[in-house]
Structure 1
Amino acid sequence: MDRVRTSLLEALTADPDLQERAARALAADGDRAPLTLRKAGVDPDLAAAALTLADLRGHARAKFGERADRLYFTRAGLEQATRWPVAVRRAARFAAASTHVTDLCCGLGTEALAFAEAGLEVAAVDLSEETAAFARANAAAAGLRVEVRVGDALGTPLSGAAFADPARRSGAGRNFNPADYSPPLDALLEHLSGARFAAVKLGPGIGHEWIPAGAEAEWVSVDRDVVEACLWLGEAARVKRRASVCKAGEWHELTGSGEERAEVGAVAAYLYEPDGAVIRAGLVAELAAGLGAHTASGQIAYLYADDLTATPFARAWKVEEVWPLHPKKLKALLAERGIGRLTIKQRGTGIDPAALRKQLKLKGDGEATLVATRIGEAHAAILCSEV
């Protein structure tokens, strides 16, 4: 199958006109696009490949912007590919420490492109011949020099700097257990220990028990969406925990030990919801210190403060009222205030927001946010408005 797909990729890269025709047919004819291309004499398999590429390029723009229109993708490869701003930022950190990098498990090669654009010499390695062919095609399409070869990440000699993005999908779907990554995370970390400067990209749900001693664990979010975690190893490790937040194209960083705990107090005038990267990095206490805030329950990552402080690391709401979390009472209270549009958030109560919404039977022209959470050990509903 790899050879068939590789042959189709070669045919596509050799025919830019077909790529353009496929994109136009998909936009104009939708589901009838395959028939359009076949009527024009295009081989059915090649037509399917061209239309799949056009479709994937459309989805890829969210990660790569306009550069997506000249790159080559597979569905699984695109899903795992790093967003371009994140890759560029990581490449800059590598370029400040080394002149070359070995990109293990390189996938479609998009991370390698960011390394090359940063001025690094790049040796990219992937176990799949088909995937390596896509990486070569992307390097050629971008006009960048990247050495791509087929090989086993764990058998690749390392010197200087190394990066790895182990496959987190298999034929059975996404693998959530790092021991099931390809290659397994524990074996990969052992291999990367031989590199002077190294990093490994992981899914954002990685458990803290997988963080090696001495490593820096970073969680990254882009416009409130936590997109990945990254372990920095060897000389690359600078702090224990880092939350990197990209908001409207601008990067912000919060660092700390990940071991501190915020003070517990009463609900105050403003409620803050920390960015997911801050929560996953265990830096809620560090954020609280910067905001002069505290929690209302030791296990809940909502913060409260008497003063409003602008921060890229959290959203803020003005607290209007605090009620018991009783659906019947909430229904009456919301009806009295004419609130018909309600955003329901919950943390620590176990309620189903959709089920609660049905019970409330909202009516009216008013709009608000209801936060279901805990104050101490008691469940509460906080009516608030975002600022």
Structure 2
Amino acid sequence: MANQNSEAAASQLAILLTPPGWELLNSIDPSSAGTKEAALNLNLTLRKAGHPVELVTAVVQQAQLRSKARVKFGPFADRMVFTPAGLEQATRLKLAGLHAQRYTRAGITKVADLGCGIGADSLALASAEIDVTAVELDETTAAAATLNLMPWPSATVVNADAMDFDLTGFTGVWLDPARRTTDTSGTSRIFDPEAFSPPLSFVESLADRGLAVGVKMGPGLPHAAVPKTCEVQWVSINGDVTEAALWFGPLARPGVRRAALVIGENGATELTSSTDFDPDAALRGDVPVGEIDAFIHEPDGAVIRAGLIDELLKQTGGHLIDGHIAYFSTAESISTPMAKSYRVLAIRPYHVKNLRAWVKSEKIGVLDIKKRGMDVTPEELRKILLAGTGKDAKNKATLILTRVGDTRLAIEVEPVS
């Protein structure tokens, strides 16, 4: 299955690289293939215009990928080429720029991007006037990277195995290991860092050689798997935790062991700590725990992943409502990009029957449900609670489901801007 997908991608890319294919692709606005219906209509229009079926298929599918890629690459996507797997794992351009800054600040001028994919991070490194060699094992993906990096003379693409590439003369290395596997049923995510390609132990071996090494890992990276010799920074963009980046040698900041970088519409904010992970701090009493007050807050996922809730509590004066749960509470409203805030309206025991009666009496037709620490599926519960509501049920409400100790609670809240 993997070979068939690779051969199909190679065949389509070859068609696109012919003069007629490249001209037709670049004459199309990717938004014209932004939906399935739009892509179907574009397919029919191009066929009616007399273009060969194979060319139309390749052009429409690439236009669809370009449309999706605008989220990560903005207008750059309209002149790039992608593979489905390459786009899925590609770093957002904004984040790739932050990666490149690490190397420029450390004075690193020659970097090997091992496992470059379609070339997103290499593009950012080259834009920062760094001499970058992008190494990619998959021939089709390497071809896509070559096209994407053509505008930058300081970028070179090599079709080779990242683990066999000769690093003589390089002072820096960037890696984005493959974290998915492909079989007859499709692709699935890999969670063991030693099963990544290349594995985390290979990354550590490069750092042990004295190279400036950065590596992009999945946001679910277990704390126990984080090497002792690096800085780890979890990053979220608009509430979506996108990565845990490990930085070794001169790329690591002095006095920073773990960090949470939160990027939103109003800029970027960061929390850091010089200490190692301590999951039992709240249980020992080192982190304040108290009653649910007038406001309840949900920390950004990057803060939770980085284990920096204690630092956030120090900044806000808040306290956890349970030593095992990430929600925290304050008596006064707070303003922080590190958490979503809610005003507490009512606190009820979690009973489905009583909640259904509340939904009916309040004529609630739109219900947002959030949860932590409870074995509840919000989508299924929402269907149960809204079942049988009348046409006049037009009010909106938000519930936070959580527990304090052994007590399960349904907290009615309203979001605070």
Please report the TM-score for the alignment, with normalisation by the length of structure 2.
0.86
SS of aligned partner of 2:268: strand
Residue segments in structure 2 that go unaligned for 5+ positions in a row: 1-6
Residue by residue, what CA displacement relative to the aligned partner does 1:16-72 show, whole Å, maximum 9, x if unpaired?
Answer: 344315859757963254454345453433332222111100010111111110111
Across the aligned residues of Structure 1 and Structure 2, the Cα RMSD in angstroms comes to 2.4
Give the 5 Å matches for 1:1-387. Answer: 1=7, 4=11, 7-11=14-18, 15-21=22-28, 26=33, 30-97=39-106, 98-140=108-150, 142-158=151-167, 159-172=170-183, 173-177=187-191, 178-238=193-253, 239-248=256-265, 250-256=267-273, 257=275, 258-259=277-278, 260-261=281-282, 262-361=287-386, 364-387=393-416
Query: For 1:267 and 1:105, how far apart are their aligned partners in 2?
Result: 48
Residues 1:301 and 1:13: Cα distance change in structure 2 (over 3 Å) = farther
Q: Is contact 1:12-1:19 (8 Å) kept? A: no
How big is the shift at 1:174? 2.8
Residue by residue, what CA displacement relative to the aligned partner does 1:232-255 show, whole Å, maximum 9, x if unpaired?
Answer: 112222211111110105111111
Matched positions, count: 386
How big is the shift at 1:380? 0.8
Query: For 2:20 and 2:271, how far apart are their aligned partners in 1?
Result: 43
What is the letter of the counterpart of residue 15 of structure 2?
Answer: L
How big is the shift at 1:295? 0.9
Residues 1:193 and 1:53: Cα distance change in structure 2 (over 3 Å) = farther
Query: For 1:120 and 1:379, how far apart are their aligned partners in 2?
Result: 54
Query: For 1:333 and 1:34, how far apart are their aligned partners in 2?
Result: 50
Please report the TM-score for the alignment, with normalisation by the length of structure 1.
0.92
Query: For 2:367 and 2:31, how far apart are their aligned partners in 1?
Result: 42
How big is the shift at 1:195? 4.2
How big is the shift at 1:179? 2.6
Structure 1, 331-340 or 250-259: larger mean CA deviation:
331-340
How big is the shift at 1:328? 1.6
SS of aligned partner of 1:372: strand
What is the letter of the counterpart of residue 374 of structure 1?
Answer: R
Q: Is contact 1:22-1:50 (8 Å) kept? A: no
What is the letter of the counterpart of residue 412 of structure 2?
Answer: L
Residues 1:45 and 1:336: Cα distance change in structure 2 (over 3 Å) = closer
Structure 1, 95-104 or 185-194: larger mean CA deviation:
185-194
Q: Is contact 1:101-1:163 (8 Å) kept? A: yes
| Percentage of identical aligned residues | 39
Residue segments in structure 1 that go unaligned for 5+ positions in a row: none
Query: For 1:182 and 1:55, how far apart are their aligned partners in 2?
Result: 28
Query: For 1:163 and 1:383, how far apart are their aligned partners in 2?
Result: 46
Residues 1:248 and 1:29: Cα distance change in structure 2 (over 3 Å) = closer
The list of structure 1 runs, each at least 4 consecutive aligned residues, that deviate by more than 6 angstroms after superposition, is none
Residue by residue, what CA displacement relative to the aligned partner does 1:84-143 show, whole Å, maximum 9, x if unpaired?
Answer: 111111111211111221111001111101111112111111112222111110012x44
Q: Is contact 1:221-1:227 (8 Å) kept? A: yes
